[in-house]
Amino acid sequence: MAAMTPRESAAVLRGICARTPVIPVMEIHDAGRARPLAEALLAGGLSVLEVTLRTPAAEAALREMAQVPGAVVGAGTLLTPCDVARAVEAGADFGVSPGATPRLIEAALDAGLPLLPGAVTPSEMMRLLEEGHDMLKFFPAAASGGASALAAIAAPLPQLAFCPTGGVTEANAPDYLALPNVLCVGGSWTAPRALVEAEDWPAIERLAHRAAGLAHRLRAG
């Protein structure tokens, strides 16, 4: 990957987030289930996936998912430059962080890994915007005021677009997706651990299909 600027990184992330209303956020414990899980989610209409680097199986799972045709796979919970290197080595198309530090952002840009940095306060958002990052993760969304907070932020900071995560569910996702500054949401409800461990891929495909239809229902309304 070639090094990139903050604006180039943000532009790539906007394109990725515009592909889907919901990004499944997955904590995978068995890499052997990663490929069929990705295939079920894609069959349901969700092509952008996030694997958090929080389990021993995460990197192997990311490698498996990255080989699925049509999948755009991100590495989540990037905290350090070492995590960026792990994500790139595993074949991640993008990275996601719960927050943002200068060292993390620099490492991602130098590695050419588009990074979705987390922010929750106006000051954090303004600092990132000043650097050229206008596509952000809003985390933890539910604990930080939810959709109403993002609606309020849209007035003074209309340049920013968001992917809220943290407490986003099938029930409240439409509240976020109805906002003009939200391109997509991230959530774990499309691939619950019980269904993954049961290898119930048809059930996961049905959940993905419902999630993929959220944007269509909003536009229709």
Cβ atoms of 114 and 9 closer than 8 Å: yes
Write down all domains in the chain, each with its CATH number in brackets.
Answer: 6-213 (3.20.20.70)
Q: Give yes or no: 50 in active site.
A: yes
Candidate list 27, 50, 59, 64, residue with the active-site label: 50
Give residues with Cβ within 8 angstroms of 71, minimum separation 6. 38, 42, 47, 49, 65
Candidate list 39, 59, 64, 137, residue with the active-site label: 137
Span of 12-21, 88-97, 102-111, 211-220 with lowest mean pLDDT: 211-220
Rg (CA), the chain: 16
- Return the SS3 of 3: coil
Average confidence score pLDDT of the chain = 96
Q: Give yes or no: 106 in active site.
A: no
* pTM assigned to the model: 0.96
Which DSSP state fits 1? -
Cis peptide upstream of residue 114 (ω within 30 degrees of 0): no
Residue 70 has pLDDT above 80, yes or no: yes
Which DSSP state fits 166? S
